[in-house]
Structure 1
Amino acid sequence: MNTRAGSHRAAASSRWAAAAERRLMPASWLRAVFRQWPLLLVLAVIAVGTVIVADNHFRRGTFIIAGGICLAVVLRAVLPSGIAGLLKVRSRAIDLLTLGFLGAGTLIASLIVPPPS
């Protein structure tokens, strides 16, 4: 009876080890990252805006950052929850309201900041 339990434990252990190895493979990790394409797209737009702000073009860069946040609103509104990935934090309404306020506030800030003199 003990040998049977030991072999069962070993089989279960090797099954778990094999599953863990599959999860850590680079191909599956890359697939998991690329499934988050909506968030990656938004982050890319925001990164471009940040680089432009760092290049001493505050209004233009902040406007692009606001565009990235507004893109997140549109993607969250249009995409189903399974595809929205990490853009889905709470319910759709809460996500849209939060991102909408953040995008609108950033857009207003980019428009009312006076140009450098």
Structure 2
Amino acid sequence: MSPETGESGGPGGSSDARDLTREAVPPDEAPGTGPARAPARRPGTRRFPLFTRDTARPEGGGRAASGDAPAPVRQWPILGVLVLVALGLSLTALDHFRVGALAVGAALSAGALLRGLLPESGMLAVRSRFTDVVTYGVLGLVIVLLALMAQPDPLLHVPFLKDTLHFTVGG
């Protein structure tokens, strides 16, 4: 058994095999004095490193306009969605619930459309493109459907909704 490597020089093994988990340090550099290095990964392993140094930007998460444009112009997709949501919430507060909720649902649906069509959508990109489009789209659709079914005088009638309510409440 070799004292340096912990390997035996038996059949199939070599006495100069190296431990691939340690990073080689040049003899003239003491540990901790050299340039910062990322820990070496063993070949053939798919393990993530113990410490991450950065977070990957989601696909399409770059600026929606050039870097020399002012910040609001660079982030116009998220600002458009937020303005529509603010308009919907203010309409809801002004006693126009259905119109306000429709505006919020339309804003989320527009966010799904922008996220799906624009190559760079700025801060509208939170996760992968597929996940963002599905999340924004489903939430927008649900809010629109709930706004259309809101009482009194619903615009959308769901035939089994009354039976479901009686079944769940027990009335």
Q: TM-score, normalised by structure 1?
A: 0.68
Pairs aligned (count): 86
Which secondary structure state, in structure 2, belongs to the residue aligned with residue 115 of structure 1? coil
Contact 1:36 1:85 in 2 (8 A): yes
AA matched with 1:92: R
- In the aligned structure 1, how far is the partner of 2:121 from the partner of 2:135? 16
Give the Å deviation of 1:32.
2.3
Match in the other structure for 1:107: 144
Whichever structure has more helix as a proportion of its residues is 1
SS, match of residue 89 in structure 2: helix
- For the pair shown, the structure with the greater C-alpha radius of gyration is 2
**TM-score using structure 2 length:** 0.48
Runs of 4+ in 1 over 6 A off after TM superposition: none
Match status 1:84 vs 2:121: yes
Residue 70 of structure 2 aligns with an amino acid whose one-letter code is: R
Q: Distance in 1 between matches of 2:113 and 2:152?
A: 29
Shift of 1:115: 2.6
**Displacement, 1:41?**
0.5
The match for 1:45 is: 84
- Contact kept? 1:59, 1:115, Cα under 8 Å: no
CA distance in 1, matches of 2:152, 2:100: 13
Describe how 1:60-75 pairs up with structure 2 within 5 A: 60-75=99-114
**Offset at residue 33 of structure 1 (A):** 3.0
State the AA in 2 paired with 1:56: D
State the AA in 2 paired with 1:89.
Answer: V
- Identify the residue that residue 16 of structure 1 maps to in structure 2: none
Residue aligned with 1:98, SS: helix
Root-mean-square deviation (CA, aligned residues, Å) is 1.6
Residue pairs, 1:14-53, within 5 angstroms: 31-53=70-92
Residue by residue, what CA displacement relative to the aligned partner does 1:2-38 show, whole Å, maximum 9, x if unpaired?
xxxxxxxxxxxxxxxxxxxxxxxxxx8x712320000
Matched with 1:56 is 95
For residue 97 of structure 1, what is the aligned residue in structure 2?
Answer: 134
